Amino acid sequence: MEIRELAVPGAWVLTPRQFRDERGVFLEQFKASEFEKATGRPLDLKQVNCSVSAAGVLRGIHYTEDPPGQAKYVTCVRGAFLDVVVDLRPGSPSYGRWDSVLLDDVDRRSVFLAEGLGHAILSLADESTVTYLCSLEYSPEFDHEIDALDPALGIDWPRVGLDGRPLTLVRSPKDEAAPPFIPR
């Protein structure tokens, strides 16, 4: 497995080695020893979520107050997403910095984001499916969101899906009403 830190400290992209033969493909999606060696910490699993999205669905930017914070290990098992991680940790030297990774069912990358980081995904194909391994059970009293389209963040969201057709962004009412990012 290849593991590298993103431009946002505390966020990592993990690319598994895939073994193909006439039967299909095998890969190790997560291996605790390699994860801990690269990140310096264990992944304490408390909840697993799965989300299926049509092309153009934009979910986030979501984050959990830290403490307690929620770390996530995100994997696309079908289709494709642009996964965006934003540093929302007060006092962080990289506060407001973001980075993105294409997660799809071809390269089968995963993204790990530590507590205090914001997260958003944009579906690039119909029926795209993502799973989240979470270090904290859903706790609405700690959950927050930031407007993913806020120009102060400057996230360059794709406007074309994998099929080459234009994407129409679709957000939940909660995400549409999310407050703006507040730069320092």
For residues 73-92, one letter each, b for 16 or more C-beta atoms within 10 angstroms of the residue's C-beta and e for the rest, the string is bbbbeebbbbbbbbbbbeeb
Q: One digit per residue, pLDDT tens: the chain, 184 residues? A: 999 999 999 999 999 999 999 999 999 999 999 999 999 999 999 999 999 999 999 999 999 999 999 999 999 999 999 999 999 999 999 999 999 999 999 999 999 999 999 999 999 999 999 999 999 999 999 999 999 999 999 999 999 999 999 999 999 999 999 999 999 8
Pull the structure tokens for residue 21.
């033969």
Residue 73: active-site member: no
> What is this structure's pTM?
0.95
CATH entry 2.60.120.10 includes domain 2-176: yes
Residue 132: active-site member: yes
- The residue annotated as part of the active site, out of 62, 63, 73, 119, is 62
- Please spell the DSSP secondary structure of 74-103, one letter per residue: EEEEESEEEEEEEE--TT-TTTT-EEEEEE
Other Cβ atoms closer than 10 A to 37 = 10
- The residue annotated as part of the active site, out of 63, 119, 132, 144, is 132
What residues does 120 pair with on adjacent strands? 60, 84
